[in-house]
Structures are given as structure tokens and as C-alpha cells.
Structure 1
Amino acid sequence: MLTPDYQQFVQAEPPADGLTVSAWRGVIQPYSDDAAARSILCDIEAERTLWISAGSIRPGASTESHWAHPLLVNMAAPCEVMVCTQPDAVPRAYLLSPRYQPYYADTAVHPHPRSDQTIDYSGRPLPGLCVFSSAEFRFVEDADYYTQFLDQLTQYVAKHLVWLRTRRLCRKIGHVVTPLYQPLPGEAIVEDAPRFQWVQTRSGPARAMDFWSGYWPGRSAKAMTPAEHLRQIKPTLPCWCGRHKMYGECHRNSDSVLAGEQEHP
């Protein structure tokens, strides 16, 4: 069992990436219905504490309005995810259903992918999820490690579902982005990778990219680089990875190597 708080997760075949020790698959459903999704969206935007249990978020008592509320239809979507554990590293997460498209690894299309964690899944590349940033999130010692990770993953999936439902098809020519199509609320969105083509403009032929662009709610955390870890985390402070070791005894040396700096004594 990965954690008693998420008993729906069962052990799965790990990807052949040479890094994964074990893999676990399970279903999380952040929203119970559309009304819950609209209330939780306001909680996310206001940075209120979210109450999460086994992959579901309990809506608060918010009666606020939000421009995206009319678009949040058919939000009670069960999402299948896979968590891959690794030695001395934060787990990796992957969204299996609804399929997290390979082109999401382009940050110009989706704001929070991990292209560096892409694996081969069912013969297709599957980017990892940027579940949290070490700049914004810290594990605590008085709660189960994997429960904290899965709670954070639930928040990520909740935001991703909002992004999916608020998507518009856009065209980018140079630095100018123009909306082409807004799906109707609840309409099934056909997945299609960004497409490049030549279009005729007033100044002549121009290369255009058609892509889906959605709204990512709440604060967008900025991931810290190894060099930033070295500058901001003292060796005597807990390591960013959540393994309850001091940074100097855990990831400081590897961060030094990755940052291209000499190892500190």
C-alpha cells in the first residue's frame, strides 16, 4: 500500500526508465459535481486552505462569482494517475486519463509540465506533471509523506481540469495571439497537437501556430533551480526533497554538481 489515506492506489508495472523503484496507479476525482468545482475554483483563487480526502476536494461555502464558472461543466471527472517512486528523490506523477498529451511539455501550450520526466507509456511519450515547486511547498514531518504528495497532486489535477474546460483554440503569428474558437460548456474537446502553417497576412505570408490555451487558476509556483537551492537553503535546514534530512546531508552535493559549481565542504 502506498499510503492508508489513498487505498485506491494499487501497484503497477513501473516504466522502463531505469530510475523507478515502484509504480502505483489509482483514480482521483477532485470535484464531486459542477457546483463543487465552481466553489473550489474560488477557494483556489483566494488561496484558501483546501480540505482533501483520498483525492477529492471538499467545497467550501463560497458564493463568489468567477468568469470561468459558466465553462465548468461535466467537472466530476475521474482521473487515473500513476505515481513512480525513486530512491532519494521526490516521486514523479503522470496523468493517464484524461490523457496528458505529449505536446503539453511545451510550456507555451501548458504552464506546468515536466518534459524532463517524460516516459514511454503505451508506445507514446507521456510528460510528467509539475506537481509542486520546492520554492512553494514543504513537506511536514507530522503527516504521511505520500499522503502529502497525493494531496498536492489532487490540487494539480483540479487546476488542470479547469485549464481543460477553459481552453480556447488560438493562433499565434509573431507575438500576436488571436482566439479562433471557444468550445461550448461541456463540449468534448478534440485533442490536437499545435499545428504550424503558413497564412496570408496584410504584409505577406507568415508562419502561424494554432494551439489550445487555457486558464491556470491560483498562484503559479516558480520552480527552483539547483543553483537557487544552493543560494537559498542553508545546509542545516531540511532538504527540499521531503526526506527529513538536512540539506547538507542530502541533495546539496548533487545540486552543486547540477549547478556546475564545486562541491562545498
Structure 2
Amino acid sequence: MALFNRTKREINAKIVYFGPPLAGKATTLQFIHRKLKPECRGPVKTMGGQSDRMLFFDFMPPELGEVNDYRVRFHLYTVQGEVTNRSTWKTVLKGADGIVFVADASPESAAVTRESMENLRECLRSYGQDLEKLPCVIQCNKSDLPDALATEEMAQQVDSAGLPVIRSASRTGEGILQVLSTVVKGVMNALRDQESVGSVTADSSVVLKGVGSEDEHAPVERGEEMAAGPPDLTERVDTPPSAAGPTLAMGGAVTVTADGILQVPLTVGCGGTERGFVLTIKLTPDASVVA
């Protein structure tokens, strides 16, 4: 569920890249991060130990326009490699506004890809959500392999139910930006349709310049246009800096690690200056309280 930061006049939307182990989720996010202009993206961050390691970053492409006078900041999340604790994925998926299912197109991974899709649907059902009611794209990764399954066959394997299915190769970048553009467009349209938000003030059909309408086999260098736009991303404020008092606001999505660490991103402002902090809380049971 998108979070509103009224101090910075931003909407924070969460997109989760879900899929089987070694399907290319982390490689996909790292490729996207490299293609974004530095002034449009935050740093790549990791959280967790040797296993169940979360990877995430945020970005705000200026060409997306605004939703009811709010800029939209996207937070991309995934979990690298083999996930040993199933609750890790449930935590990452909580509050997701959009999902990219990274399917492994290699024939030997067909069974584990089907199982991963079933796990995704089950995790969402535990939150009362339905995959078909969320902006979701099926990314058929490793489609550059000689024996890769066709997108039509992959759609049947995971029971895509009419969701967009796009071939990709995270090693070369083929299709990666097209997938991102498609899910971002879906999230923007969902925000527009929310009665409490209103309508998008810019044309959401032009989601990322040079991406989304291009042929999926075009050279990946064309994706450099994705973050094109004004280099000055100065944040909008409602009052002059001299009149601004102390402010405290949520700076992004709250996360909970597998070992019970609660991390709350905060934005603290004073005198026209803002800084980001992360409030870290360790949850421990209270032996004096009997349920």
C-alpha cells in the first residue's frame, strides 16, 4: 500500500521482484540501478545475513509527472538467492503496490518456477490480496538461452491469467526496462484510480521515456533514455525554509528482518534542512505479559 509523505509531498510506492532462486532477480535490479541517472536514484542497500539477503533501492524519474500534486518515489525490493525462511518473502511482499514475477525460462527450472508462483499467490492471500488485482508483470528471464521456453509456454507454466508476459535476459539487459516500464505504468494507473488520491496530472501512458513502446529486441543502450529529464530534482516545500519548523515524517516502507529487527525510515526536517534516518527496533518478548 502506497505511503504518503506530506512533508516532502511524495508518494512512496513499493514494487517487489519475486521469483525462484537464481532466476536473475538481483541481477535485474542491479542492471536497472546502473541505467538510472545518479540524480534520480538512491544507493543500492542490502539487509540480512548470509542467507535471506534483501536487496533494495529507490528512484524517482522526473518524467512521470505527479499524482494530485505529489511526486511518486518507487522502492524496488527483492531477496537474493535461496530463501531459507519463508517469512522473509511474506515480510517483503507486505504492502506491495506492484509485483514483477521473475520466471526462469530454462526447461530444467520449470517445476521450481511453478512452485514459486504458487508461493507468491499464497503469500498474497495471507494478506487478503489477489495477484490478478495488483499491477503485475511476468518477466521470462534467461530467454536468451538456446533451449529457453517460449513466452507462451511460460505463461501456461505459471498460469499467468492474462498478466503481461515479457521475455528478458538479465545478463544482457534485454526486456528488463520494458518490464519495469510496464509495472510502473500499472502502479501509476492504480494510484490514479484511487478515489482518495484523484487523477494523475501528467499523461501516465508515457511512463519512462524511450522504454515501454520500444521493440523488446532493441539494443539495450536505448534504455539510457529511461531517466532522461531535468537534472534538478529539488524537493517541493509548502513553506519558506526560514518559516519551517521541526518535522518528522515516514521516509519509505517499514521492513522487518527475519531475526525480528524492525526498521523504520524517517525524514527529520528543521530550519529548511532535511536528513534521513533509520529507526531500528529489536522486538523481544515480554515474559511478564501472559497472553
Q: Which structure's residues are more often helix, by fraction?
A: 2
Structure with the greater relative contact order (CA < 8 A, sep ≥ 6): 1 or 2? 2
